[in-house]
Structure 1
Amino acid sequence: MKELEYINVREKIKDLSLNNGNGLIFLPYNFESAKDVKEFIYDDSVKVVNKLWRSENINIERLENDISETKYYQENDITWIGPTVFIAYSFWSENPNLMAVGLSVVANYLTDFFKGKTGSPKIKLEYIVEKNPKKKSKNVRFSYEGDIQGLDKLPKILEKLKDE
């Protein structure tokens, strides 16, 4: 697990004239470097996680108005790469337990997904946490690479990051 400073997501959204959300937002893996929305490439797992979270009434906002031309990338090995998720500070304030529910749903899915497969499956997830705007702190990128069992620690780690 590692934590790094991340660009100001709100400024980038404004610069690219995108939808400005206040909840959970899928970010393309090339969000930092993209100069235009047409360059965005999402991990294919966006579709699965979106479906899983919708079933639990966890809504994901999209940056783009038109997602019909969205490009996806798929990794085919023993590693499952989840989508990059931006967590707005206001989302945490209004829904303090929802990330735990969301990560639990993903962990259950991955347990079934990897059932019967040989080797030790790895999970890669990235969350961009918006810090408390009153403190004018930078956003932070939190990367997790590990096993399914480690996912249960993430909600507390992510929540701590937002308030630092």
Structure 2
Amino acid sequence: MSRSVEHIVVMGVSGSGKTTVGEALAERLGWSFIEGDSFHPPENVAKMSAGIPLDDADRAPWLRALAAEIARDEAAGRPSVVGCSALKRAYRDVLRSGAPRVRFLHVHGDRAVLADRLAHRGGHFFPASLLDSQLATLEPLGPDEDGVVVDVALSITEQIDFAMRGLGY
């Protein structure tokens, strides 16, 4: 059966493993992976590095840039996996504007697990002190949103297997 082009956004708060899961999922599917953090303007990175949470106005150009990247892949007939926090439904709506079929894989877990991951992660601009602001902003996928939720407590292989089943691959 032939499928239309699809795009999967691996979403969740910082420390949930979006990049690790996204890269593994893209590899399994044979699709390209887009690292959403690389689309943040320098002002956003500086703000987060200083421990200041982003607001909707900060996120708007970043989300539009990611939607444009999804649209480029769509126009080229290339499916993609995108790593992006996509914390609010309104943010996911912007991402969905990039292509007819944008789906979501929400990598979700216990706050203590996420905090521990952030405390042991090096070389990233996002400080652990912003975790609570992201958790407060997070709006889980609605029942009408195309996607699945996977637990960060599972191994990466188990997460990818669960995602593949849940997304129908």
Q: TM-score, normalised by structure 2?
A: 0.27
Kindly indicate whether structure 1 or structure 2 has the higher relative contact order, using CA contacts under 8 Å at least 6 residues apart: 2
| Structure number with higher strand proportion | 1
Q: TM-score, normalised by structure 1?
A: 0.27
